[in-house]
Amino acid sequence: MEATSITSELLARWSADYRADDRRQLATLALAKHDVNEVAFVSAGAQAMRQKFSLEIKTLEVTNQMNSGRCWLFAATNVVREAIARELNLEKFELSQSYLAFWDKFERANYFLESILETADLPTSDRTVSFILSTGVHDGGQWDMFVNIVRKYGLVPKDVYDETYQSSHTNSMNAALNRSLTVTAIRLRAMVAAGESAEAIKAVKDEALGRVYGFLCSCYGEPPRAFDFEYVDKDGIYHIEKGLTPRAFAARYADDMLGRTVSIINAPTKDKPFHKTYTIRLLGNVVGGNDVRHLNLAMDEFKAAIIAQLRAGKVVWFGSDVGKFGERKLGIWDDGCFNLPLLTGLPMEMSKADGLDYGYAAMNHAMVITGVNLEDGKPTRWKIENSWGDERGEKGYYVCSDSWFDEYVYQAAVEREYLGELAACCDAEPTVLEPWDPMGTLAR
């Protein structure tokens, strides 16, 4: 099709159309001093998003990831801590997200350098190399990456390894780390190109990792090798378990759950048939750890597994796109709460598959599902535990409509038994997707 330019005749016609359209004139008045989403907000829709649910699990107070992208770690530890709190009869309890973030950062630095070496024979203009370099080491992650860190390094309570300024304000730390890793990548690629020995290359990489370890210790503090687990239960009784290692603590309180839990996704794109498993090339954190693996399910199957787990009294980690149709002060995600076509006059209809294929929508935040409202067995809205503190929503708890869930929820971590016969599909050999696949965006 031949390219065409905008002509003065077309501009004149469009100008006349705009001036004659009362709706456009009204929108012009409203948008002069207000945000687009505020003007498009539908209060009647918001009133339907009540924080009342037919199936609801009582959970602990919300957490706060502050100015960091550690949502996946906060959501994962929030799931695990509920099981620990039930077992130990605790009213308040939090696991250390900083401990996991430290080891994730350190392992991710090694993963990055190994990826650089794996692709060292390709030019920097190659899409894969460019992707590795542009992604670097950041805060995001996936459920399976959480499992990898816990398996290797364990868990500790938050009062054993608390937050620092850097752990909760990560931009500058990440920028410094990624600049240094890029410098090392330049040197390693030059060594490969010059034909230097594997021993020499490893020595340079190990020296760089040693510096990374020291820098991370400056940012977080050095992680504990052992600790005493002290707690007071709801009955006011003091307990102590002395000399625990982080791995022993994780084995005692989390191993069974992690071993039973798998990742399911709803990605209705042509390249991902349902009931198949998928992994993503060069997406991970621990070299030698488990690959990120997803089982793709139809939405009704996806929801059924989540609801089955909720019925069993267990909350659910999930990933979604929170940048779409959200009113954060009220704590609502609902496409019915915004009438953008009426306000803008622009076409807005898009399928979930097209949104993924065309890069419009993708996972960017992980949270925890703690309840659902069911009418005649069908969900109408979902209760969400976020990790943005307690000042928004209902003390930090949010709600999303089922229609928003359909369009913008992509992943959940559920225990195998709640998949029923579909659990067998998890064991199939996965199809390998490209590093930039939208099912990997939560880790970037």
Structural domain of 356:
55-443
Instruction: Name the active-site residue from 78, 148, 364, 386.
Output: 386
Q: Is 386 a catalytic residue?
A: yes
Q: How far apart are alpha carbons 274 and 262 in whole angstroms?
A: 16
Bridge partner residues of 347 (DSSP): none
Q: What is the pLDDT of residue 38?
A: 96
Q: Is 22 within a domain? A: no
Instruction: Name the active-site residue from 110, 365, 373, 400.
Output: 365
Number of domains in the chain: 1
Q: What is the pLDDT of residue 389?
A: 97
CA 195: distance to chain centroid? 40
Q: Is 271 within a domain? A: yes
pLDDT > 90? residue 181 = yes
Instruction: Give me 334's structure tokens.
Output: 């609902």
Q: Is 365 a catalytic residue?
A: yes
Answer whether 117's CB lies under 8 Å from 127's CB.
no
Mean pLDDT taken over the chain: 97
Output the pTM of the full model: 0.97
* CATH, residue 140: 3.90.70.10
Confidence of residue 65 (pLDDT cuts 50, 70, 90): very high
Q: Is 3 within a domain? A: no
**pLDDT tens digit sequence for 244-301:** 999 999 999 999 999 999 999 999 999 999 999 999 999 999 999 999 999 999 999 9
CA nearest to 95, candidates 145, 160, 169: 160
Q: Which amino acid is at 303?
A: K
**pLDDT tens digit sequence for 119-173:** 999 999 999 999 999 999 999 999 999 999 999 999 999 999 999 999 999 999 9
Q: Is 41 within a domain? A: no
Three-state helix/strand/coil letters over the chain: CCCCCCCHHHHHHHHHHHHHCHHHHHHHHHHCCCCHHHHHECHHHHHCCCCCCCEECCCCCCCECCECCCHHHHHHHHHHHHHHHHHHCCCCCCECHHHHHHHHHHHHHHHHHHHHHHCCCCCCCCHHHHHHHHHCCCCCCCHHHHHHHHHHHCCCECCCCCCCHHHHECHHHHHHHHHHHHHHHHHHHHHHHCCCCHHHHHHHHHHHHHHHHHHHHHHHCCCCCCEEEEEECCCCCEEEEEEECHHHHHHHHCHHHHHHEEEEECCCCCCCCCCCEEEECCCCCCCCCCCCEEEECCHHHHHHHHHHHHHCCCCEEEEECCCCCEECCCCEECHHHECHHHHHCCCCCCCHHHHHHCCCCCCCEEEEEEEEEEECCEEEEEEEECCECCCCCECCEEEEEHHHHHHHEEEEEEEHHHHHHHHHHHHCCCEEECCCCHHHHHHC
Q: Is 91 within a domain? A: yes
**pLDDT tens digit sequence for 382-429:** 999 999 999 999 999 999 999 999 999 999 999 999 999 999 999 999
Q: Is 20 within a domain? A: no
Instruction: Name the active-site residue from 71, 219, 337, 400.
Output: 71
The CA-CA-CA angle for residues 151, 252, 396, to 5°, reads 80
Q: Is 30 within a domain? A: no
Q: Is 400 a catalytic residue?
A: no
Confidence of residue 444 (pLDDT cuts 50, 70, 90): confident
pLDDT > 90? residue 45 = no
pLDDT > 90? residue 37 = yes
Q: Is 352 within a domain? A: yes
Arithmetic mean of pLDDT, 353-364: 97
